Structure 1
Amino acid sequence: MRVLLVEDNQLLAQGVVLSLAKEGIQVDHLCSYNQALAALDNEDFSAIILDLGLPDGNGEDLLKHWRKAGVSLPIIVLTANTDFDTRLNCLDIGADDYLSKPFDVRELVARLRAIVRRQHGLDNNQFSFGALTIDFTRCEVHFREQLINLPRREYQLLLEFAQSAGRVLTRSQLEQLTYGWDEVGSNSIEVHIHHLRKKMAPELIKTVRGIGYILAEIQ
């Protein structure tokens, strides 16, 4: 999962980035309205965490802009403003959820996972696809009832395949969703896919020649 965090409080943002990274979530951080305005033009994200109190604009206006532009990504609003009308307005103009500052990062993680699951039509904390099972809460992967230990990048990559089951993902999409703005090696995705196939089954992730990769339902 790759998340865009728009938050001008650097200390808070660092804490969120580190905490979400421990949960296998890639976070790209921007700190202003203008930076965030065009961030979605050529980038792939799973969700957005949006602070309302930005130094150069209003987060509510940014939320409205994205929704009018057809952005359908799940958005969680963060704000120190606990005013009831502000919360209702954010939900009315397109926010999927709302958290008041200060908040427990564990609650942010839980809400983030919940809205992304709903976006992909997953109704519970577990994904099952043939012999593959992923427990989102425990960050555990089982294949043919065997626990598979995966490092963070491989787990992130497998999550992207799971949340896009039945859909081909290009190499570029996988790089963005797994690495974000971090530096990525020229064949990193191919290496991770090789490791996933080796640890589970060679046919688990199929290559669609000239396009990308797709998760296969195997027993």
Structure 2
Amino acid sequence: MRILVVEDDPSIASGVCASLRQGGHAVDHMTDGGQADTALRDTPYDLAVLDLGLPGLDGSEILQRLRKRGTQLPVLILTAREGLRERVRVLDLGADDYLVKPFALVEFEARVRALLRRASAQGMPELQIGRLRLDLPGHRIWLDDEPLELTAREFGLLEALASRPDRVTSRAQLVEALCSWDEELTDNGLDIAIHRLRRKLSGSGANVRTIRGLGYLLEEDTEPSP
């Protein structure tokens, strides 16, 4: 999943972004409200984590503009502003959830999972490919009934492929899904990630097939290994 974090407090932004990246998400971080509004208009995100008190453009205005464009992107508000009236105001503007600073990262992570799971359930429920069972928003994958351990990058790669069932995903699309703006993934790095993912999927009934000149396709093996 690709997530935009709009937060001008360096310590909070650092912890939040690190937590999301450790969970396998591609994360873009911005501190200016005006730039964030442009990013939300031009880039397809799966979730926005939005502070209210921002330079350039207030988070409430960003949220209003987002909803006026008809975008149903899940938005989690992070703010130091307390009080029932403020929470009601922000939720009425179109926020999906609200977290008051300071907060525990474990609670933040749980709220992110809940929002992504809710959004995914509307368009992509739990997936079954061969002997694999995938809960993409919950970042869980099972081989038969046993959890399959993947690194954050391997899960991000599998997620990008599984999110486009029966469609070829280009190398450029995979790089975009795996990397935020301040990261870089070389061709060799992508090849290594694909090789490692294929190795872990061996015998699962799911396969990453190369479509020469176009990209990759996640498909069910016709003859999976026992």
- Which bracket does the TM-score occupy, shorter chain normalised? 0.7 to 0.9
Q: What SS class does the counterpart of residue 24 from structure 1 fall into?
A: coil
> Residue 7 of structure 2 contacts residue 13 of structure 2 at CA under 8 Å; is this kept in 1?
yes
User: Unmatched 5+ residue regions in structure 1?
Assistant: none
Note closer, same or farther for the CA distance 1:191–1:26 as it changes in structure 2 (3 Å cut). same
> Residue 209 of structure 2 contacts residue 216 of structure 2 at CA under 8 Å; is this kept in 1?
yes
In structure 1, what is the Cα distance between the partners aligned to 2:122 and 2:55? 36
Aligned-pair CA distance for 1:171: 3.0
1:90-105 equivalence runs, <5 A: 90-105=90-105
Q: What SS class does the counterpart of residue 45 from structure 1 fall into?
A: coil
How many residue pairs match? The answer is 219
Rg bigger for which structure? 2
TM-score (normalised: structure 2): 0.80
Per-residue deviation, residues 57-99 of structure 1 (Å, max 9, x unmatched)? 2101001112222333211111111232322232222211111
Question: What amino acid is aligned across from residue 108 of structure 1 in structure 2?
Answer: F
Note closer, same or farther for the CA distance 1:215–1:90 as it changes in structure 2 (3 Å cut). farther
Q: Which residue of 2 aligns with 1:27?
A: 27
In structure 2, what is the Cα distance between the partners aligned to 1:48 and 1:104? 18
> Residue 126 of structure 1 contacts residue 133 of structure 1 at CA under 8 Å; is this kept in 2?
yes
In structure 1, what is the Cα distance between the partners aligned to 2:76 and 2:57? 18
> Residue 45 of structure 1 contacts residue 177 of structure 1 at CA under 8 Å; is this kept in 2?
no
| Root-mean-square deviation over aligned CA pairs | 3.0
> Residue 175 of structure 1 contacts residue 189 of structure 1 at CA under 8 Å; is this kept in 2?
yes
1:38-187 equivalence runs, <5 A: 38-121=38-121, 128-134=128-134, 139-145=139-145, 147-165=147-165, 168-181=168-181, 182-187=183-188
> Residue 44 of structure 1 contacts residue 177 of structure 1 at CA under 8 Å; is this kept in 2?
no
User: Unmatched 5+ residue regions in structure 2?
Assistant: none
Per-residue deviation, residues 136-171 of structure 1 (Å, max 9, x unmatched)? 698553334555432221122223334444555443
Sequence identity percentage: 38
TM-score (normalised: structure 1): 0.82
> Residue 2 of structure 2 contacts residue 46 of structure 2 at CA under 8 Å; is this kept in 1?
yes
In structure 2, what is the Cα distance between the partners aligned to 1:114 and 1:105? 14
Note closer, same or farther for the CA distance 1:177–1:79 as it changes in structure 2 (3 Å cut). same
